[in-house]
Structure 1
Amino acid sequence: MIDYHPFWITLKNSKESTYTLINTHHLSSSTLDKLRNNKPVTTTTLNDLCRILNCQIQDVVRYIPVENDQKL
């Protein structure tokens, strides 16, 4: 499972907020909702978040193995 909990920690420790992400950096509220609910986002979005927050990908996302992952 892809988990965005690191993003919320990174955001909290940054000078940015959900308000600035939406109003200054033009991220949509639906994208933030996807992050809140661990729904898929594009790699472009992940790239944008890393650029905005000046961080590495592991500061935004982590992988957690779970039993009900899709079978390959």
Structure 2
Amino acid sequence: MKGVDRVPIKYRIDILEALKVAGYSTYKLRKEKLLGEATIQRLRVGAPVSWENMSVLCRLLNCQPGDILEYVPDSEEKATSE
């Protein structure tokens, strides 16, 4: 059985870098309570965030979820689809 924490959804972009370019440092994100420290840490390591936080990211970056996320099947999924 696959690990529960294995999620085939990856970030297309470096979220924190894109936020920085848009004028949102991690300090500003925390200070203005746009994102919490736990969410910022999850973004640092490429872990998924909640849909609420994804909504905030899309608003701040003026984009759609598909601009941020992509589905990447693992090798087992690729083998069964061929």
Correspondence for 1:14 among 12, 19, 22: 22
TM-score (norm 1): 0.69
Which segments of 5 or more consecutive residues in structure 2 lack a partner in the other structure? 1-7, 78-82
Paired AA for residue 25 in structure 2: S
CA RMSD of aligned residues (A): 2.2
Provide the aligned length of Structure 1 versus Structure 2. Answer: 69
Unaligned runs of 5+ in 1: none
Of all paired residues, the percent bearing the same amino acid is 35
- Contact 2:19–2:60 (8 Å) recurs in 1: no
Answer 1 or 2: higher relative contact order, Cα 8 Å, separation at least 6: 1
**What TM-score, normalized to structure 2?**
0.63
